[in-house]
Amino acid sequence: MSNKTALGTLEQQITVMSKFPDQNPNPVMKVSRAGELLYANRGAKALMDQWQKDCGQSLPPELVDRVTSVEAQTIELGAGHSTFFLDLVPVPEFGFVNVYGTDITAVRAITKFPDQNPNPVLKTDILGHLQYVNKAGGPIVETWGLSIGELVPGEVVSQADRDTADPLELVVGTKTYSFHVVTVPEFECLNIYATDISAAKENELILGKVAKYFSSQVYESIFTGDLEVKIQTERKRLTVFFSDIKGFSEITEQLEPEVLTELITEYLSAMTDIAVKHGGTVDKYIGDAIMIFFGAPQTRGAKEDALACVRMAMEMKVSLRKVRALWRDRGLTQSLDVRVGIHSDTCTVGNFGSRDRLVYTTIGNGVNLASRLESNARPNQILISEDTYLLIRNTIRCEKLEKILVKSIKQPVQTYEVDGEASDESALRRVEKHMDGFSLYIDPDATDHLSEKRDALQRALRLIDRLD
């Protein structure tokens, strides 16, 4: 070989060797065709330590078998707890193979995770074309009738664009799944993670049915552990509310059972919604009558409980006008008038019953007095005891009435009629009166159609004069 040829060969070798800088953080090696390690940079040290090899020694058999090939190829090789992707590039003119490595341990951990995940995992491109599904996700894809490359339902794909952390709940076949969709822009794909919530939804449905048999406060207290499910009572300061519809028995005689059921359901639903809003414990329905109490199982203090109860009754009275209009539209000619009685007292409250069946309620003289006040109230009147009045008098405007005698109580009971919020100046000028065959409500803030209102009042007065 001439000097010129030898010099050219040496330059080529130097050029090849320059491709293996020690500064490269990835493994770079030069291996002979026989599998002997000729060179390794610092990035390959982890591999060398794991294999317990050094320059001049043969590499693991699985790598030696590959370097004997004349074709460029790739190999995925484990080294302890790590996994490397190796590019094998033959350099035939010099009789060795360049090996370029990349640590893909983290990538492999991610890509293997879906296969081992017991929950369904799907992967699509950005448009929603299915690229991958793990074993747990097979039933979902099968129900959708999809193959690789086909579009998953649009509502699932669109979940990725919604600015919310709330999952998408979707019924797939006989099961309900919660779908979380995550966009991975680096790989232009969507990762879809599903959780089977069928059992939870079934339990939720069952509990929803059970909840209808309890006051919301009692239901919540049971499931938060604040109220134990056993016979247990205590003495507490309560404010007790009773209401009933005046002349309800006559109303029932006018209506078919189906219509009556519908109308009473509308009424009780409207009143119960207001009770729940104000934090009352709905004790029971007795036909058209409602019993509610404040102060147990949770209390805000005797004064606040009494205020909440009275404000609830005031809102019920306003809401009654809407219910009354609905009943008239259904053909009920008799006026819908409600009587309310409220009393605050120390009562016995808790779980009463047998070993097999419990009811959360309250008993005592205080409960009886609230019921007696309701019986003595005029139609559409909120009649309260002095005990309740003393708790609310600085906030609620009341009119002092006569004392009344009630059964089982020796002394006369001082009563008051609730008129409105003490701070509501407009209410001082408001007129409201409801009696048999007579209903009047004037709001001075509603100034429209005054001439029509005046004509209506004049016709009403003429009619009353004729009846007198």
Window from 31-45, 170-184, 304-318 with minimum mean pLDDT: 31-45
Residue 165 has pLDDT above 50, yes or no: yes
Residue type, 47: L
Q: Is the pTM of this model over 0.75?
A: no
Q: Which residue has the higher pLDDT, 319 or 461?
A: 319
Over residues 377-407, the pLDDT tens digits come to 999 999 999 999 999 999 999 999 999 998 8
Residue 67's pLDDT band (cuts 50, 70, 90): confident
Where does the chain hold its CATH 3.30.450.20 domain(s)? 16-103, 118-199
For domain 118-199, give the fold: Beta-Lactamase (3.30.450)
Architecture of domain 214-424: 2-Layer Sandwich (3.30)
How far is residue 92's CA from residue 257's CA, in Å, rounded to a whole number? Answer: 99
How far is residue 307's CA from residue 28's CA, in Å, rounded to a whole number? Answer: 81
Tokens, residue 215 = 């006051």
CATH of 16-103 given 3.40.50.2300, 3.40.50.1580, 1.20.120.530, 3.30.450.20: 3.30.450.20
How confident is the model at residue 14, as a pLDDT? 47
How confident is the model at residue 20, as a pLDDT? 46
Residue 171's pLDDT band (cuts 50, 70, 90): very high
Q: What angle do CA 53, 56, 61 make, to 5 degrees?
A: 55
Bond from prior residue into 139 cis (ω within 30 degrees of 0) = no
How far is residue 115's CA from residue 36's CA, in Å, rounded to a whole number? Answer: 37
Where does the chain hold its CATH 3.30.70.1230 domain(s)? 214-424
Over residues 191-236, the pLDDT tens digits come to 898 999 988 888 777 666 665 666 666 767 666 666 677 778 899 9
